[in-house]
């Protein structure tokens, strides 16, 4: 069985190898409001898809659909910034999406085919 961190490390290595081809990364994510162990309201990342785009491609329109307890987002960030996010996430094992400081995606729950 392939461990989640092995897949993560391979994805990071692949992205670093191809980073000069990419201009930006499209991130599509969904989060829901839940409760932590203390009963406090928190945002939980439930789905994420990362799509690298070549430098000559055009960005679409960013989206942010907030339905109160569910949020769907589509954002675009420079490829170099996404690489920094990946590198920082390796140590913490938490992928944080720009613009959502409280939202976290646990690395152990991510799979390469979902992310990349």
Given pLDDT bands bounded at 50, 70 and 90, which one contains residue 116?
Answer: very low
Mean pLDDT (the chain) is: 82
Among the listed residues 51, 49, 52, 45, the one whose alpha carbon sits nearest the alpha carbon of residue 30: 45
Question: CA-CA distance, 40 to 68, in Å (whole number)?
Answer: 16
Rg of the chain over all Cα atoms, to the nearest angstrom = 15
- For position 59, what pLDDT does the model report? 93
Given pLDDT bands bounded at 50, 70 and 90, which one contains residue 67?
Answer: very high
Residue spans of the domains in the chain: they are 4-114
**Residue 28 tokens, joined:** 């599509």
Residue 93 has pLDDT above 60, yes or no: yes
In terms of C-beta density within 10 A (0-12 exposed, 13-18 middle, 19 or more buried), how is residue 85 classed?
middle
Who has greater pLDDT, 103 or 13? 13
Task: Confirm whether pTM is higher than 0.85.
Answer: no
Among the listed residues 49, 56, 48, the one whose alpha carbon sits nearest the alpha carbon of residue 22: 56
């Amino acid at each position: 069985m392939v461990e989640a961190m092995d897949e993560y490390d391979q994805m990071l290595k692949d992205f670093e190898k191809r980073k000069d081809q990419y201009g930006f990364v499209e991130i599509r994510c969904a989060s829901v409001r839940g409760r932590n162990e203390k009963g406090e309201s928190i945002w939980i990342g439930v789905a994420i898809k990362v799509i690298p785009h070549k430098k000559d491609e055009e960005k679409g329109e960013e989206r942010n659909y907030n339905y109160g307890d569910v949020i769907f987002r589509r954002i675009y960030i420079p490829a170099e910034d996404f690489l920094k996010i990946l590198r920082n996430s390796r140590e913490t094992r938490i992928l944080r999406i720009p613009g959502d400081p409280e939202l976290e995606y646990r690395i152990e729950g991510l799979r390469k085919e979902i992310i990349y």
